[in-house]
Chains A and B, each alone.
Chain A
Amino acid sequence: MLHSIAIAILQLALAPVYDGVERKVRAAIHTRIGPPVLQTWYDLIKLFSKEVVIPVGGGWYTLVTVLEMLTLVTASILLVHVSTVGLAQATIFEAVIFIVLTGIATTLAIMRAVSQNNVFSVLGGFREFSLVLSAEPFLAVSLLLLVSGVEAAASRAIAALILLIAAYVVSGRVPYDIAEAEPELASGVNIELAGPLLGVATVSAVLKKFISATLTVLVFVLLGGLSGLTSLTAVALLTPLTWITHTVVSTLLGRSRVDLAVRFLYTTLFILSSMLLVSYGLGV
C-alpha cells in the first residue's frame, strides 16, 4: 500500500501538469498559443499565497470545501492503488469504498453550493445534483459488475461503455460543465470562492479529471487483461493520453442544458443498463 501511496503522490503531482497540457491542446485547436503547461501549478501556487477569504457560511463552508478535496484525494489514491494490480484484481470492497468516496465528494460539493446565499451558486448546486443523479448510479453499477469478474463479453463491453460515459460526466467538462457554466451562472458553484479556497476547489476539479481519466484507462486495462506492473505502466502512460482525448472531445462540443443533459444521459445510460441487465441475465 505504501508504494501505492508513493506512486499516487507522483501521479497527483502530475495531474495539474496534465491539466496544463489540456489547456495547451485546447489552445492549439483554438489556434491560440495558450499558457505554459505548468500554468495550473502556477495558478495553485498563486491562489494559496493569497489571503484567506471566507465567504458567507463561515467555517462550515471552509470545512466542506476542504473535506471535498480530501475525499477526492483519497479516492484518487485508491484508484492509483487499484491500477497497480489492475481492475480485474480489485475487490468489491475497494469498488464500494471508491463509490462511497466519490458519492461523498459530490454530496459535499452540492452542500457547498447550496449553502451559499447566492442564487448562482444554488442554481449550480441543483444542476450538479441533477447530473449526479443521471450518471453516478450507472457508474456505480457498471463498476461493481466489472470488478465482480463477470466473464461474458457482451456484458463486459456494455458495462465498460456505461463506465466510459459516466466517467466523462464526472470530469465536469463541456458539455457537462453546466454547474459552473461561466457565461450563464458567472461560475455557478464557484462564484463565492477566492484565494486559497478557490485553490482547494481547483485541486478538486483537477482531481475529478484525474479520476475520470484513470477510471477510463482502467476499463481498457481490464478489457486488455493487464495486471500488476503492466497495468501500472499502462495507466501511467495512457492517463495523459485519455486526458487529452477528453480534452479534444470537450473542445469540439458545446455546453448542454440541464434538462437536455439529464434527458440524454438518463435515456442513454438507462437503455445501456437495460441491455446490460438482459445480457447479464442471458450470460452473454
Chain B
Amino acid sequence: MKDEVRTIVEKIGGVVEEVKKSEIYVRIPQQTVRTAARLLYDSEAYFKTCVGVDEREVNGFYTIYHIFGLDSQGVDIVLKVLVPEEDPQTSSIVSEVPAADWCELEIQDLLGIKFGGRLTKRLVLPEDWPDGVYPLRKEFRYDEKPSRVIREELHEEAGIPVGPYHPALHEPEYFELYVEGEKVVDVAYRGFHVHRGIEKLAESPRFTYKQVPFLAERICGICGFVHSTCYIMAVEKAADIETPERAEFIRSIVLEVERLHSHLLWIGVAAHLLGYDAGFMHAWRIREHVMVLAEYLTGSRKTYGINVIGGVRKDLNVDKIDKTMKTIAQVREEFKKLADALLSIPQIKSRAVGTGVLTKSEARALSVVGPVARASGLYRDVRKDYPYLAYGRVSFRVPLYTEGDNLARLLVRVEEVFESIEIVKQLVDLLPGGSVVVEEYDIPPGRKAVAAIEAPRGEDVHFVITGLGRPYRWRVRAPTYQNIPALRAMLRGTPLADAPLTIASIDPCFSCTDRVLVVDIETGRKSFIKLVRGG
C-alpha cells in the first residue's frame, strides 16, 4: 500500500479487511460512513458506485459497499457497511457525495434498505410494483412475478415532454423540459423503463460463470464487449486467474475497435441532431469499415462473443492483422476529411459552443465519467488511471477540454477516434505470441473484486462477489448511469433547440443504465408519477 493511500485509510478508521493490488476493503460502522465518505471525497477520490448485497446467509447482515476510486493512486477504496436484518436502515452519504444519489435509491428499491438523512423516492421500480417486495433479496426468486398494484394516478402537466418516444431519443427515457420562451430553466427525468433483470438473472441457477459473459455482452448493443470484458476482469481478479498476455492484447484491440464504431456512431447522431445529415451519413459510412473489421476479427459485427474467463476464443492471424492495419489506415484518412468538414459547418459551431455547459465543479461533485468528464476539465481515463489489459504497454494522449460545453464533448470524441487508431496500431505491433486462453482455473466462493474499463461513454464498473458456480452478487454500473444526473445542470439555461443535442452529448445508453429487473410496464396509463421535481 502506498504511503498516501495508507494515510487516507488510517484517517478513515474502521477495520481493513482486505488489501489487494488495486482494491482496499475497509469495514466501518454505520455511524462513521458519512465522515469517511467526506474524507475520501476531500482526498480527491471519485465516487464510483454503491452496491447493496443480501449477505444474511453469509454473515447475517445486509451489506453496502461504497466504492471510491483514488484515480491519482490507481486504487479503489471500498467502504463496507453492515446493516442489520431486523432494522434495515443506514446513513445516506448524498449530502457529502451527491454522486451517490441514484445508487442509494436503487438499493432502497431493490434491497429494502432505508437511507436516513435524505429525500427518498422510487427510482428503479415501476409504479405498479408492490411495496415491501425487494427483488435483490435472496428469498425473491429470479422468475417471480409479484401481482401489480394499481395506484392513484398523479397527473401533472407542465413542461415540454421529450420521450419516452421522441425522434432525438433512440431508447425510451423521459425528460420533461421546463422552458421560458425557448430557454430551458429546469428538467425532470424519468428512466428505467426497460429493466431486464440481468443482475438477478446472473445469480440464478440458469447461469454459470462461463455463461454470464454472453449475458453481460447483451447489456448494450454498442459497447457490449466492454461489459463482458469488465465482468470477466472482475471474476479473474477475484479468483486470481492469470490471463495470457496475447489474450489481453486481443481484448484491448477489440475494445478500441468498439470505441471507434461507438464514437463514429455518436458523431453521426450529433450531426443529424444538428441538421447536418451529410455528416451523419458519412460518419456511418466510415463506421461501416469498422463494423466489417469487427466481423472479420470476431465473427460478428456486434455482440462478438469471443470473451471467456481466462482469455478469448478467437486468435489473430497474419491476415487479420493485415486487414486491421489497412482498415484503420482507411478509417483515419476518411475520418480526417469528415472531421474537418464537420467542424467547418457554421451551424455546428454556433450551436455547440456555450450550450449544455457542465462546469468542472459540477462534474467533480457528480463524479461524471468519460468524454463528459474530460470535456469539463477532469483528467479521468481508466486506461491511464488504472492501466488494465494491455493499455499499460501503449502510449496515447487523453484529450482534455475545460469549456464543458457541447463542442468540447464533440472535440473530445473526435480526438479520441484518432487516439484509438494509434492505440490499435501499437497493440498490433506489440502483439505477443503464446496461447489465448487458460483452460484450468478455480473460482473459490466469497471472493470480491472491482473491475473498471474505459468504455466509449466513460468508466464502466463491475463488482463481483463470487459464489458457487455463479456470482453471488454481480453489480453493473454503466457510464451513462453516472452521467445522466449531470444533464439537469447541463440543460439549465440551454436553448430548447439544443436540448436534444445536450442530452445526446453524454452519449446516453439507456439500455446500459436500465439493466436491473424483469418488469411488465404495460400499465395502460397515460400519465406518470414524477420522480424528480423541477423547480
Contact = CB atoms under 8 A, between A and B. Distances in A.
B498 A254 contact: no
B447 interface: no
B166 A254 contact: no
A53 to B, nearest CB: 19
Nearest to B165: A186
A255 to B, nearest CB: 3
Given A30-B281, A174-B275, A251-B277, 5 more contacts: A26-B277, A31-B285, A174-B276, A184-B496, A259-B495
B497 A257 contact: yes
Given A119-B160, A183-B168, A30 B282 contact: yes
The residue in A30, A123, A254 that gathers the most chain B C-beta atoms within 10 A of its C-beta is A254
A95 to B, nearest CB: 33
A3 interface: no
Given A183-B272, A254-B351, A256-B347, A29 B278 contact: yes
Interface in A27-68: 29-32
Interface in A123-149: 123
A29 B278 CA distance: 7
A182 interface: yes
B278 A30 contact: yes
Contact of B351 (A30, A174, A257): A257
A119 B271 CA distance: 25
B406 to A, nearest CB: 12
Interface of B: 160-161, 166-168, 182, 271-279, 281-282, 285, 345-348, 350-351, 495-500
Contacts of A251: 277-278
B182 A258 contact: yes
Nearest 4 A/B pairs, CB to CB: A255-B275, A254-B347, A30-B281, A254-B276
A175 interface: yes
Interface string A232-267: 000000000000000000011111111110000000
Interface residues of A, number: 28
A113 interface: no
A171 to B, nearest CB: 14
A253 B278 CA distance: 9
Contact of A32 (B168, B276, B281, B498): B281
A177 B495 contact: no
Contacts of A29: 278
A175 B278 contact: no
A181 interface: yes
A186 B166 contact: yes
A183 B167 contact: yes
B345 A253 contact: yes
B149 to A, nearest CB: 32
A177 B275 contact: yes
A175 B496 contact: no
Contacts of B350: 256-257, 260
A178 interface: yes
A175 B275 contact: yes
A186 B497 CA distance: 11
Contacts of A177: 275
Contacts of B166: 186
Nearest to B177: A119
Nearest to B275: A255
B452 to A, nearest CB: 33
B414 to A, nearest CB: 16
